[in-house]
Amino acid sequence: MSREAPARIGDRIEDVDTPALILDLDAFEGNIKRLNGALEGRNIRVRTHAKTHKCPEIALRQIQAGAVGVCCQKVSEAEAMVEGGVNDVLVSNEVVGRQKLARLARLAKRARIGICIDHASQVPALGEAARAEGVELDVYVEIDVGAKRCGVAPGQAAAALAKAIAVMPGLRFAGLQAYQGSAQHVRTNAERKAKIDFAVEAARTTRASIEAAGISCPIVTGAGSGSFMFEAASGVYDELQPGSYIFMDADYARNEWAPPLPRFEHSLFVLATVMSRPVPGRIVVDAGLKASSVDSGLPTVWQRPGLEFVRASDEHGVIEANNGVAPPELGDKLLLVPGHCDPTVNLYDWYVGVRAGVVEVLWPITARGALG
Amino acid sequence: MSREAPARIGDRIEDVDTPALILDLDAFEGNIKRLNGALEGRNIRVRTHAKTHKCPEIALRQIQAGAVGVCCQKVSEAEAMVEGGVNDVLVSNEVVGRQKLARLARLAKRARIGICIDHASQVPALGEAARAEGVELDVYVEIDVGAKRCGVAPGQAAAALAKAIAVMPGLRFAGLQAYQGSAQHVRTNAERKAKIDFAVEAARTTRASIEAAGISCPIVTGAGSGSFMFEAASGVYDELQPGSYIFMDADYARNEWAPPLPRFEHSLFVLATVMSRPVPGRIVVDAGLKASSVDSGLPTVWQRPGLEFVRASDEHGVIEANNGVAPPELGDKLLLVPGHCDPTVNLYDWYVGVRAGVVEVLWPITARGALG
């Protein structure tokens, strides 16, 4: 059920079968440098988020560029990363269920594995899984720093959980998971910073509560591509978890990108073919909902002023030609910038890595569909 | 990169790993019977749409129940169907590009293959591909019957295209593709019927134009799950293309379902686990955007009154417990009805077919990710 790659190495981009997920290697490598450049001189760890790319080839390049390891959201994603050679993975999420915890513990025989907890009942379950495999797991307490998703309340509740972890054989209390996901796409820097200021205070008081209980709190980890410079400057966060920065997407591009945040470039595209031009001004491409996730908005047409992607159905994208621009011809190929990179990547089996118009690498997306 | 099935045959549904795509076999078989029952006594062909399920096991059961074959939207989907034993496939869509047309023509050595055209330049391209493989292709002219996507204008333009096909060696003019996709989710029967009445008239006049030119127009094909009884009663349509009826989804369920349309049942679910219960009333499950496509709305919680799925992020679904209902416990499993079945199926590698709470079959979704 895995699919063949839509290109061969050495193909020109015009000859890539569509729809295909294109990675502009210059822009991708530039984004890694931009992140490092922005953080230069700061004593802070980077643990890039692999839920964005689901690809060990990319993870290894991020680690080579300085990341301490990766985050994942699912056990099966972590398995794909370890299988691909990554030796330090934090599942920055809760994992519930005996079978999944057993798989996670088995993985800790091959790599350093971290996991989050936000409920006391998970402490003995996780301890049992770790001891059954004879491993130690890094366990982080997830606190809700304003996103209202998972996480215990900051402060005493988190400290109580940290204490339960610290005394449980098989578990190492590793610190706090303090990710403010709902801040990342808030449009202005000022509003984003205000949300992160709240998160920083929540993390600071929680660490203080834990340390007051005589427990060391080694790492406060969190942050995303839209906010990481605020966490980096906080004096509270020790580790950053940006994911989307390597790709950017149309929705992130709608954010204000101003110092201290570097401006990342689009490196991820969906290559599509014009398959119908039924009336003047309406162009239909072969990429719809199943080729570009629309949960955060439609894709945009890359570097073709006047062409607007106006509607997606399952297998079709409808583009309008406005302002008198000449519409592309039947068979022409267009690059689309996905609305949201993470779920779009999850639709594909391969990155087609392109430089100067030529396919240079084909990277398998081995954690595609790794839901469990 | 293909994933292991999340269950074994004989497992109880409670033991299926999550997220998983569950097919309620009784409801699924009931929906096939409901379609047949509604069409009983009518002399009309059914060609079910495989873009919905992407699974030859399901296609073969639809054919066994009377369908003449299946529709697909992509060459790679058609390849997966033929590979799985289906011997009659209509690609109810335009296909552009030499490599794709060559693959389509090769497929015609193993099965009866149809394809749509809406532009004169495609006639010689398709003819060349067919002759190169020594096959004949069924070619349908797609007409725009109101959806404003692909398709030539009804009437003379379509007749001219039919004529060009009819005289092209390697091609057989097979009829009209006349699908009104934008009618399917119009909420009331009356409004949907009005849109189909328009489509019927467009198809009728186009067939008349073609026949006036001395060309036989064997088949008018089209219709979807939301409208097929109107096309069936039209006296113009010869073949129906329903897809979603086997599954239903939350968005289709918002339609009015009244005679002449039968009321289909939900047979497709996403099984999810409660992975966090951070505060009273908020439940987080392990199924988000990557487990249930939200393009047509959020999933709904199945048969758990008071539980409302209120927010999806990449890997999380947030559910609120309202009206004083007791929220599910950590580790409990819930069934979700996807907002839109087609793109949700495309996220999975397996159907877990369940009857009376026990896993009876595991069907691979071999056309998952078949984008090209």
- Using alpha carbons, select from B244, B269, B317 the residue that is nearest to residue B20: B269
Residues in chain B with CB shorter than 8 Å from the CB of A53 are: none
Count CA atoms closer than 13 A to B94's CA, side-chain side.
33
Nearest Cβ partner for B343 among A18, A290, A372: A290
Residues in chain B with CB shorter than 8 Å from the CB of A284 are: 94, 149-150
- Using alpha carbons, select from B65, B56, B58 the residue that is nearest to residue B36: B65
Please state which of the four CATH numbers 3.40.1170.20, 3.40.228.10, 2.40.37.20, 2.30.30.280 is assigned to the domain occupying B13-21+264-364.
Answer: 2.40.37.20
- CA–centroid distance for A300 within its chain: 20
Predicted confidence (pLDDT) per residue in A61-113, tens digit: 999 999 999 999 999 999 999 999 999 999 999 999 999 999 999 999 999 99
Q: Residue B2: its pLDDT value, please?
A: 66
Shortest distance between the Cα of A17 and any Cα of chain B, in A, equals 7
Cβ distance of B314 and A275 shorter than 8 Å = no
Shortest distance between the Cα of B49 and any Cα of chain A, in A, equals 13
DSSP string, B15-45: GS-SSEEEEEHHHHHHHHHHHHHHHTT---E
Q: Which one of A76, A121, A276, A365 makes the best mutation probe of the B interface by having the most chain B beta carbons within 10 Å?
A: A276
Predicted confidence (pLDDT) per residue in A260-292, tens digit: 999 999 999 999 999 999 998 999 999 999 999
- Using alpha carbons, select from B149, B137, B126, B146 the residue that is nearest to residue B206: B146
Domain at A42-246, CATH homologous superfamily:
Alanine racemase (3.20.20.10)
Residue A250 has pLDDT above 80, yes or no: yes
**Could you say which residues of chain B have pLDDT below 70?**
1-2
Shortest distance between the Cα of B188 and any Cα of chain A, in A, equals 21
Q: Which one of A290, A330, A341, A347 makes the best mutation probe of the B interface by having the most chain B beta carbons within 10 Å?
A: A290
- Name the band, by pLDDT with cuts 50, 70 and 90, for residue A2: low
How many residues comprise chain B? 372
How many angstroms separate the Cα of A110 from the Cα of each of A92, A113, A365, B85, B274?
18, 9, 21, 42, 28
CA A71 to CA A59: how far, in whole Å?
10
Q: What is the pTM of this model?
A: 0.97
Mean pLDDT over residues A332-352, rounded?
A: 98
Residues in chain B with CB shorter than 8 Å from the CB of A364 are: 1
Q: Residue A30: its pLDDT value, please?
A: 98
Q: Give the contacts of A324 (CB within 8 A, at least 6 positions apart).
A: A306
Q: Residue B20: its pLDDT value, please?
A: 98
Q: Which one of A96, A100, A320 makes the best mutation probe of the B interface by having the most chain B beta carbons within 10 Å?
A: A96
Residues in chain A with CB shorter than 8 Å from the CB of B349 are: 1, 369
Predicted confidence (pLDDT) per residue in A284-327, tens digit: 999 999 999 999 999 999 999 999 999 999 999 999 999 889 99
For residue A338, whether the previous peptide bond is cis, meaning omega lies within 30 degrees of 0, is no
Shortest distance between the Cα of A299 and any Cα of chain B, in A, equals 13
Cβ distance of B346 and A348 shorter than 8 Å = no
Q: Residue B337: its pLDDT value, please?
A: 98
CA A84 to CA A104: how far, in whole Å?
16
How many residues comprise chain A? 372
Residues in chain B with CB shorter than 8 Å from the CB of A318 are: 148-149
Q: Residue B149: its pLDDT value, please?
A: 96
ipTM of the complex: 0.97
CA A298 to CA A308: how far, in whole Å?
10
Mean pLDDT over residues A108-123, rounded?
A: 98
Nearest Cβ partner for A318 among B149, B293, B318: B149
| Tokens standing for residue B140 | 């349908």
- Domain positions in chain B: 13-21+264-364, 42-247
Q: Residue B165: its pLDDT value, please?
A: 98
Cβ distance of B181 and A313 shorter than 8 Å = yes
CATH class of B42-247: alpha beta
Structural contact between residues B281 and B320, judged by C-beta atoms closer than 8 angstroms: yes
| Tokens standing for residue A103 | 């798989």
Shortest distance between the Cα of A326 and any Cα of chain B, in A, equals 18
Residues in chain A with CB shorter than 8 Å from the CB of B371 are: 18-19, 286-287, 290-291, 347-348
Q: Does residue B251 sit in helix, strand or coil? A: helix
Residue A1 has pLDDT above 60, yes or no: no
